[in-house]
Amino acid sequence: MATAVFKTYAPNQLQLLPPSWEEKIDKAHPVRVVDKVIEQLDLTKLYDSYEGGGASAYHPKMLLKAILYAYICNIYSSRKIEEAIKSNIHLIWLCGNLEPDHHTINRFRSHKAAPVLKDIFKQIVLLLAQEGLVSLKEAYVDGTKIEANANRYTFVWGNAIKTNKEKMAKQLDQLWQYAQQVATEELQDTAVVDFTTIDAQKVTETVNTIEEAIKDKAVPKKVRQKLHYVKKNFPDKLQEYEHKEAILDGRNSYSKTDEDATFMRMKEDHMNNGQLKPGYNVQISTNNQIITNYDLFFNPTDTLTLPAHLDSFKQLYDQLPGSVTTDSGYGSEQNYEYLEANDITAYVKYNTFQQEQQGIREKKYPFAAGHLHYNQQQDYYICPMGQHMLNMGTYIRKNESGFEQTITSYGAGNCVGCPLRGVCHKGKGNRVIAVNHNLNRHKQKARELLTSEQGLAQRKQRARDVEAVFGNIKHNKGFRRFLLRGKQQVSTEFGWVAIAHNLSKKAA
């Protein structure tokens, strides 16, 4: 039997010449793409953020490359990046054998680079556009909720505050009513107090007035105790609520561990219990699976985010996309108006589009207002029994963002004894329908666009484009929860993810 021959193995042997990292990095490796792209950027703004003097700092270009390459490799924690910089040959090459620690990485990632990150993102997108990898003319827009780095049990609910304040106001009102009964004379010159809204000052003043009025009266002990309790606790509690309401800023919830995070229903519900979790609504525009814009919102619904997201697109590139394709979460009158006013072709579904196309709505709701014939010239609808439903007037309705919709009511003359009465409508009296003509016009326009040849292609591409990007970030890259806290920081964190995603697309 022949003797086995092994290659020389002497890991501790000193080498005459140090190994060249450059030779070890494959010419087509993604790390070279990161290096090449960052070398082409104008990083003057980043350099300018460094103050002169003191000890020398790690080169910002090196840190930028290292963090982005680490993100491409799904390494997000600063300690793990530090570790990888010491052991990963590609990062050793990228960092020129320098070894910044996790504090340096963190400071750079969250503070130094944060103010200029969107500019870096933009420069990279424009480079990719020059190379023909992405177009700014078409945007596929979608949103996803990503969990915040916040405890899901430290919630503050706006509704709970509202209810508690109402209870407090009611108790105060009861005390006031009681005092007016037992001390009518003493309180006769006092101005009428309105308890619709209460604050700390109103509580203190009211209790003082009541106490003064009933001081010589024989009132039950528990009334005086109640007054004492209200005086001692309500003002502080109301000040606390005021502070919380300022943080809520119109939202219905926030987490005490990340006050910018709002409780939302996440798609990824591992416990399958429908529990709301603190998170952010991330909105992105993509083209050819490259992210062209990103924004973070407190608002869990996509409908209200589109104009702000497109405004930030314009701010970034000084132009708006020529067309926007979205799912039905964005099909509101407000969004259609914005898109029309800005000459953007809207491949934007409305909420009933799919059901309409499949004929489900017509079968399910044959008598719905949308299925009644409208005589535009003479402005009336025809009800299922052939009766004319006449214009009863218009009114303005505001949606939750304050957008005003013009609604027109049309009413049937007489529904008494109609054989279709039970299935046509459930209300008492004659049937009245509320119609938003402007929204109907937009829907018609959207229907024509979405069912055109180009529209079908846009709809197919949307699933392959923006949805695939979220799928990649969440499932392949494993980025499902933010590490940082606060909207500004979280936005920066997503910026890093977005740039890394775009670089990996270029490298693919």
Q: Which positions lie near ligand SF4, rule CB under 6 A?
A: 383-385, 387, 412, 415, 418, 420-421, 424-425, 431
Look at residues 361, 401, 410 and name the one whose alpha carbon lies nearest to residue 382: 410
Q: How far is the CB of 294 from ligand SF4 (least distance, A)?
A: 49
* For ligand SF4, the closer CB: 116 or 383: 383
Question: What type of residue is 101?
Answer: D
For residues 281 and 264, the answer to whether their CB atoms sit within 8 Å is yes
Q: How many Cβ atoms are within 10 Å of 236's Cβ, its own excluded?
A: 11
With H, G, I as helix, E, B as strand and everything else as coil, classify residue 382.
Answer: strand
Q: How many CB atoms lie within 10 A of CB 271?
A: 7
Q: Which DSSP string corresponds to 244-299?
A: HHHHHTT-SEEESSSTT-EEE--S--TT-S---EEEEEEEEEEETTEEEEEEEES-
Cα–Cα distance between 468 and 474 in angstroms, integer? 10
> At its nearest, how many Å lie between ligand SF4 and the CB of residue 413?
8
* CB-nearer residue toward ligand SF4: 308 or 424: 424
**Smallest gap, in angstroms, from Cβ of residue 356 to ligand SF4?**
22
State which residue, 415 or 450, has the beta carbon closest to ligand SF4. 415
Minimum distance from residue 364 beta carbon to ligand SF4 (Å): 17
Which CB, 265 or 421, lies closer to ligand SF4?
421
Output the smallest distance, CB 272 to ligand SF4, in A.
43
Q: Smaller CB distance to ligand SF4: residue 7 or 426?
A: 426
Tell me the C-alpha distance between 187 and 180, whole Å. 6
Q: Least distance in Å: CB of 378 to ligand SF4?
A: 18
Tokens of 177: 């009513």
Three-state secondary-structure class, residue 139: strand
Q: Judge contact between 140 and 466, C-beta under 8 A.
A: yes
Residues 6+ away with beta carbon under 8 Å from 483: 76, 77, 149, 493
Residue number, 178 or 380, with CB nearest to ligand SF4? 380
- Which C-beta is closer to ligand SF4: that of 114 or that of 369? 369
Alpha helices in 116-275 (DSSP H): 117-130, 158-182, 184-187, 200-214, 221-248
Distance CA 136, CA 123 (A): 13
By beta-carbon proximity to ligand SF4, the closer residue of 15 and 378 is 378
Q: How far is the CB of 434 from ligand SF4 (least distance, A)?
A: 14
Output the smallest distance, CB 505 to ligand SF4, in A: 56
